[in-house]
Structure 1
Amino acid sequence: MVHSRLQGCLPRLRGILPSLTSAEGRVANYILENSQQIIHLSITELAELAQCAEATIFRLCKRLGYGGYQAFKISLASELVEPLANIHQEITQKDSLSTIAAKVFHSNIEALQDTLKLIHEESLEKAVKALHEAERIEFYGLGGSAPVAMDAYHKFVRVGIPCIALTDPHLQVISARLLSPKGVAFGISHSGSNKDIVESLKAAREAGALTICLTNYPKAPVTKVSDICLISSSRESHFRSEAMSSRIAQLSIIDTLFVGVSLLRQDMVLDNLQKIREVISRKRF
């Protein structure tokens, strides 16, 4: 029986070392020597550091009784990280609400500053050009990335390009496969390891559409199926259920793309904004 949260993963990893293949042994030793670092690494990054295939890491996690690498990391994090760090790394039990607010705001500010330093202007320009020229744009997001996809749709619906945000994995892959070569599929994933987002972008590519990803990890699986990669940054742990400050950074990248496309379609956007103001005004007293 596979458990998603088994305890004592490091002792058990030491225990099976003698029975591992040479490739699995390299991964196991790397994990044992760099356990604190592992919870921040994607499977792609670990594979590169341990000089092995991603499939080797997956097999090792299965041998330990986990459903996959993510489940292993969650268990590892529960052993290494203080419980409050799952909410926010800098928060302590004694903090007042004003101190908590200051730490959360500071974390968000750091994420924005770090992302600004990471922005690759050429990739940003390519993304703006692709979105401007698209006949249809589809934004894909699941879990914590779903609100980012919805925000992107809420903005880009104003620029006069048919677009949609899809937050159901089945609808994503169906719609992606039906895109035309003049369509753009835009996948949003903090970890970049979400299988459904990767499969949807792969389906869009098969249809001939251009693919864009927005992720926190430049070597994540989603980047391998994307024509254009946009990277956000935050100092959050990869195992958190919600990537809080990274979402702020991703929303800012979406805002940047929207402004960039709006400048290229200025007359249409201004006309659309006036129409929107008129119709929205009817909903207010």
Structure 2
Amino acid sequence: MPQNCLGTIRSYYPKFSEKEKKIADYILENPEVIIHRTINEVADDLNVADATVFRFSKRIGFKGFQAMKIALASETMTSTQSALVEKVEKLHKMNLTEKIFNANIQALQKTFENIESRFIEEAIAHILEAKRIEVYGTGASAVSALIAAQKLLQSGFPACASLDAHSQLLSASLLTKKDAAIFISHTGTSEETFSLLKTIKKSEAKTIVITSDPHSALSINADITLPVSIDETDNQTAFFTFSIAQQGIIDALCVNILHQHEKDDRFPSESPTHSSIKG
């Protein structure tokens, strides 16, 4: 392992003579400069003899001035590289943060621009008329389904979701044509989710699909598809942006449903609204 020049100078410093301390200060303050200077130039800068600089190099354990410069160059390069790596890592983290925020913003904007208002209106009508609402999602989308059901429940509608596949299948078999089912699926290709859809279609309950693939079997067989527009080429952010955008659709549904619910004469005045929701 190469000798640590700067560390050795600092440890020896209390024992140095005045001239040696003068040389030590010069090196410690200008390590990047000294590696490009000759022994004569250093001696002239400090107004000391060349031999004094040479003896200083020997004093701290090197064979001579050139050996000390090589050690200094190695230390300086390592220090510079470490600082550069640290700076790059910080910039990388900042860029990743900016990247995910920008991706989320773009997904929300594109989803809003591409979704057809008539499909939103139809989905709202089905939810308003439903006696019961089940929200389904498998894998990573199961958590999104739970959040969506909670938002609908807080909006005053009997919505629920389950993480358990058996419970999902059981609830799907109990739906009727007076109920509605909302499916959340990133790709729309989940066999478990499609199996639930086929079960629900037999009951004639209304089915609403939120997915990034409007051409999937799940989308084609649903009554309404609300597409999420995301950048599918970026696998690093695709799932996260889908989650944000699909929750944006759920939020839009809930706000519109609350507004429609409050002004709709078909509902009794004691029906739950956002003003009566606690928690």
The answer for the alignment partner of 2:67 in structure 1 is: none
The answer for the alignment partner of 2:162 in structure 1 is: 166
Which deviates the most, 99-108 or 127-136? 99-108
Q: Distance in 2 between matches of 1:269 and 1:160?
A: 11
The answer for the alignment partner of 1:145 in structure 2 is: 141
The answer for the alignment partner of 2:241 in structure 1 is: 245
- Verify the 8 A CA contact 2:156 2:272 in the aligned structure 1: no
- Verify the 8 A CA contact 1:134 1:182 in the aligned structure 2: yes
Q: Distance in 2 between matches of 1:269 and 1:119?
A: 33
Matched letter for residue 191 of structure 1:
T
**Structure 2 residue corresponding to 1:232, chosen from 228, 231, 244:** 228
The answer for the alignment partner of 2:132 in structure 1 is: 136
Q: Deviations over 1:60-111 (max 9, x none)?
A: xxxxxxxxxxxxxxxxxxxxxxxxxxxxxxxx97843222111111111111
Shift of 1:239: 6.3
Q: Distance in 2 between matches of 1:117 and 1:241?
A: 20
Q: Deviations over 1:197-253 (max 9, x none)?
A: 111111111112111111001111111320111100110348679711111110100
Matched letter for residue 117 of structure 2:
E
**Structure 2 residue corresponding to 1:196, chosen from 185, 192, 200:** 192
Matched letter for residue 225 of structure 1:
N
- Classify the secondary structure of the residue corresponding to 2:140: helix
- Verify the 8 A CA contact 1:159 1:265 in the aligned structure 2: no
Change (3 A) 1:159 1:107: closer
**Higher RCO (Cα < 8 Å, 6 or more apart):** 1
The answer for the alignment partner of 1:276 in structure 2 is: 277
The answer for the alignment partner of 2:92 in structure 1 is: 96
Gaps of at least 5 residues in structure 2 are 1-87, 264-268
Q: Could you state the TM-score of these two structures normalised by the residue count of structure 1?
A: 0.60
Change (3 A) 1:200 1:252: same
Q: Deviations over 1:166-205 (max 9, x none)?
A: 2222221221111011000111100000111111111111
The answer for the alignment partner of 2:113 in structure 1 is: 117
Shift of 1:147: 2.4
Task: Quote the sequence identity (%).
Answer: 33
- Verify the 8 A CA contact 1:137 1:183 in the aligned structure 2: yes
Aligned residue runs from structure 1 range 8-47, under 5 A: none
Structure with bigger gyration radius: 2
How many residues align? The count is: 187
Shift of 1:270: 8.8
Change (3 A) 1:256 1:208: same
Q: Distance in 1 between matches of 2:240 and 2:177?
A: 34
Gaps of at least 5 residues in structure 1 are 1-91, 281-285
The answer for the alignment partner of 1:61 in structure 2 is: none
Change (3 A) 1:171 1:240: farther
Q: Deviations over 1:9-56 (max 9, x none)?
A: xxxxxxxxxxxxxxxxxxxxxxxxxxxxxxxxxxxxxxxxxxxxxxxx
- Classify the secondary structure of the residue corresponding to 1:188: strand
Q: Distance in 2 between matches of 1:248 and 1:239?
A: 15
Q: Distance in 2 between matches of 1:262 and 1:202?
A: 30
Q: Could you state the TM-score of these two structures normalised by the residue count of structure 2?
A: 0.61
Shift of 1:155: 1.2
